[in-house]
Amino acid sequence: MSFANRRDCLLLSLVIGIFVVTCSDTALASSATFQPLNTALSSVLDFMTGTFATTAATVAVAAVGYLALTSRIPWGWAFSVVIGVALIFGAAQVVTSLTGGMGGR
């Protein structure tokens, strides 16, 4: 099969992609095949939002706040650290709110 031009190739790719997405089974995503991966990522998430991470974030915010207060680093960097901590600990809520309208949990 020869393609007359690049547009035909892109159209065929789009049709195949739509076909794969519409024919995929949603049970595949929750099968036992992905259970070890799910367990590993859950462990990483627990570590990133657990007791150690909370203590480290508290120390980081306090240290950066002190440094910004004494004019040793710019205030923008201090706000960046605070925003980063908020995103790390609020990531689950952000994902939940984004997937809430798409039939997620």
Tell me which long-range contacts 47-52 makes (C-beta under 8 A, separation of at least 24): 48/88, 49/88, 49/89, 49/92
Q: What is the DSSP string of 36-71?
A: HHHHHHHHHHHHHHSHHHHHHHHHHHHHHHHHHHTT
Q: What's this model's pTM, rounded to 2 decimal places?
A: 0.55
Secondary structure of residue 33 in the 3-state scheme: helix
pLDDT score at 105? 52
The token pair that represents 24 in the structure block? 């995929």
> Tens-digit pLDDT profile for the chain (105 aa)?
454 677 776 767 767 777 666 665 555 555 677 788 888 888 988 888 889 889 999 999 999 999 999 999 998 999 999 999 999 899 888 888 888 866 645
85-102 pLDDT, tens per residue? 999 899 888 888 888 866
